[in-house]
Structure 1
Amino acid sequence: MRITFPYMGHSHWVFRQLLSELGHEPIVPPRPTKRTLDYGTRYAPEFACIPFKVLLGSYLEAIELGAEAVVTTGGVGPCRAGYYAPLHQRILADLGYDLDFIVLEPPLRNLKDFYRQLRKLFPPRIGIGKLLGILSRAWVKLNAIDYLERLSHQIRPRELEPGRTTKVFEQCLELLGAATTVSEMKAAREEGRRLLAEIPVDREKELLKIGIIGEIYVVLEPFINHNVQILLEEMGVLADRSIYLADWVRGNALIPGEKDIKRAARPYLKELVGGHGLNSIGETVLYARRGFDGVVQLAPFACIPEIVAKSIIPAVSSILDIPVLTLFLDEQTGVAGIKTRLEAFVDLLWQKKRKGAGAQWKQVTLA
């Protein structure tokens, strides 16, 4: 079966191998571009959030490449992400495309349904040993990608040759993408670490520390957030992203996790509000405790969970004295506007850092 999937960050390297080893032909959707977003915006409801539109555009581009089915995730709680798959399927059907959707709901909520959907991807009479081998290789590759990406984000703010880290990290991804066995992946991971370690850096450079929080898709997909993390790092900021896919899978699909985040959020928000709304509160608290200079919240325009979080963050910001910049993103958002806002925020943080803790800082919201 020719199967496509959502394009999100660097995860396509993993999904391509996983589907291929399961006997399918993976249709990797093109990296999202303005064409992707225009496609999705044309056929999506006007009120739909930007992840919905980008995903719809990605599926349409994958159909052009011959996709016959989509494997994607569902969702729980008061967040529209749980309705993405059936709505996407209906819109595509109205356009004349009859695609099968395999929707994987969180296994910790309903393990039986998760396995029933996952079973559709398995070849007939596959042995448990072979299946575990396929899954373990995908897991090793995902963790290796996240490890090297984290390392690149530590190096980029200090690099002496602008753009070098980005080029080297792309090499690392190619190495990992070509690796098919666990030993090859470990070797590629080590080679990637070596390549990144060779980048000349200024180890004495003073850096701001900014945490990045928000809805998972806009945080992980650079096209949607206009490369916010890299933009910050190029401004001399150590930008720490709160979400990496391997961590999310570990804490939401394998074992109950994120207890520290929920505990940190509890004084301000006790209820599940869907999406990553509660996480945005808890992670802001944790960044403040870790001595970060500020936080950037990324949210799709009209995202209810992040709107709820945004309404609470000013209290967190005031009590813990940590400035927060909220950026709402939609198809009208441009990189120039994002960069200008980030530059202003960074300038304010430098002023605060040099003057020391003083006046109370309020949340800044920029759509």
Structure 2
Amino acid sequence: MLKVTFPHIGNTYIPLRTLLSELGVEPVVPPPISDRTIALGARIAPEFACFPLKVNLGNYLEAMEAGAEMILMAGGVGPCRFGYYGEVQREILRDLGYDVQFLLLEAPKTHPRQLWERIHSIFPRNTLSDLIRALRLAWLKVAALDRVDRLANRIRPLEIQPGLTTSLQQKFYRRLDEATLEAEIRRTLRQACLELESVTLRQHEPDLRIMLVGEIYMVLEPRVNFAIEQTLGEMGVAVDRTIYLSDWIRDQLVFSIIRPDWDRQWRQMAKPYLHNFVGGHGLETVAHTVEAGVNRFDGVIQLAPFTCMPEIVAMQVLPTVSRELSIPVLSIIIDEHSAEAGVQTRLEAFIDLLRQKKRKASGGNSSCKLISVLT
């Protein structure tokens, strides 16, 4: 049986394991990202390549140690270098003597016939009904993950017993990964929601609301962002994450085909500050920061990998948004040299400043400066 691996990004391994298994191949899930993963990837990647590319390479090396024969990787178009990841990674591994196949999946709107032909030629279970069943089960798991993560982010800041929400979240991930039938997935989701909703809470609202924006990999992968959602939640801060996998699939793989103006809302929000699409999630970073200012969030945290062009462009715009809408912004740039202690210190300082600002607020507009941090 063909052994197929993929990049490790958050909990996407759970639906991807199901998708590949249902299509008749053996999924090789990369080990959780560790210091070794990052060191392996950084050693063979170009020095100024995006941090996610380096981590992905480390994932592949560890997965090939476990027997992976093919790498499943998404492609793309536009200014972001992500569209070149697959080809660059293929050449790097080939130069190092690794004999591994790459399956690069472009968005269906670019070459739908070629995409179907690749799927049909590689996967043993390749009828249309097989594909629909596999996609349905994977989608149910994606939607379940995002629903539980959203609920956990609302509950964690108010829990009386520290760590309980995260413990229940981790238990749900394990159970969902083991579920193989639609009924099991739905039952696992219901049980997780009931357990989370039964957590004993403090009888007041979180004192701060933070919007989390930035590049998709840095937002979704807790190892590279040092579990920022959990950290902020345990500090009593409600986190509104702006990127979820189900939203990305819906927007990029469905709406972008059937509704070309699906992102009109974000383009309109960003337009006073950023007029053009700059690739990646750069425009959305600006738009969501505007949204946070309009909706009176207490602050915004932007996560970006070192040398990420779209987020660097957005970063140049955010001081103006911060000043005009009185919304404090913390930009954290992360690479293989970043340390958890440094990020933790900066988060604590930012939250302290926000609490001071809120205590001193008299109801009028107050200017605030952008805080930009390079870690």
TM-score (norm 2): 0.94
> Hey, what's the Cα distance between the residues in 2 that align with 1:347 and 1:326?
16
> Hey, what's the Cα distance between the residues in 2 that align with 1:341 and 1:289?
25
Contact map agreement 2:270 2:286 (CA 8 A) in 1: yes
SS of 2:223's equivalent?
helix
User: In structure 1, what is the equivalent of residue 321 of structure 2?
Assistant: 316
SS of 1:255's equivalent?
helix
Contact map agreement 1:108 1:255 (CA 8 A) in 2: no
- Cα offset, 1:113, TM superposition: 3.9
- Cα offset, 1:259, TM superposition: 3.1
Identify which range, 285-294 or 46-55, moves more after superposition: 285-294
User: In structure 1, what is the equivalent of residue 369 of structure 2?
Assistant: 362
Contact map agreement 2:23 2:130 (CA 8 A) in 1: no
1:220-231 to structure 2, matched below 5 A, reads 220-231=220-231
> Hey, what's the Cα distance between the residues in 2 that align with 1:340 and 1:286?
27
2:282 is aligned with 1:277: yes
> Hey, what's the Cα distance between the residues in 2 that align with 1:306 and 1:56?
22
- Cα offset, 1:258, TM superposition: 3.4
Deviations 1:277-316 (A, max 9, x none): 1111111111222221110000001111111000011111
SS of 1:223's equivalent?
coil
User: In structure 1, what is the equivalent of residue 11 of structure 2?
Assistant: 10
- Let me know the Cα RMSD of the aligned residues: 1.4
Contact map agreement 1:102 1:120 (CA 8 A) in 2: no
User: In structure 2, what is the equivalent of residue 131 of structure 1?
Assistant: 131
Percent of aligned positions that are identical: 44
User: In structure 2, what is the equivalent of residue 24 of structure 1?
Assistant: 25
2:192 is aligned with 1:192: yes
User: In structure 1, what is the equivalent of residue 263 of structure 2?
Assistant: 258
- Cα offset, 1:320, TM superposition: 1.1
Give unmatched runs, 5+ long, in structure 1. none
TM-score (norm 1): 0.96
Deviations 1:19-43 (A, max 9, x none): 0110000000001000000000111
> Hey, what's the Cα distance between the residues in 1 that align with 2:121 and 2:243?
28
User: In structure 2, what is the equivalent of residue 327 of structure 1?
Assistant: 332
> Hey, what's the Cα distance between the residues in 1 that align with 2:250 and 2:101?
27
2:188 is aligned with 1:181: no
Deviations 1:143-170 (A, max 9, x none): 0111111111111111111111111111
> Hey, what's the Cα distance between the residues in 2 that align with 1:259 and 1:120?
37
Give unmatched runs, 5+ long, in structure 2. 257-261
User: In structure 1, what is the equivalent of residue 306 of structure 2?
Assistant: 301
User: In structure 2, what is the equivalent of residue 341 of structure 1?
Assistant: 346
Contact map agreement 2:25 2:123 (CA 8 A) in 1: no
User: In structure 1, what is the equivalent of residue 156 of structure 2?
Assistant: 156
SS of 1:361's equivalent?
coil
Q: How many residues align?
A: 366
Contact map agreement 1:69 1:101 (CA 8 A) in 2: yes
User: In structure 1, what is the equivalent of residue 259 of structure 2?
Assistant: none
- Cα offset, 1:114, TM superposition: 3.5
SS of 2:4's equivalent?
strand
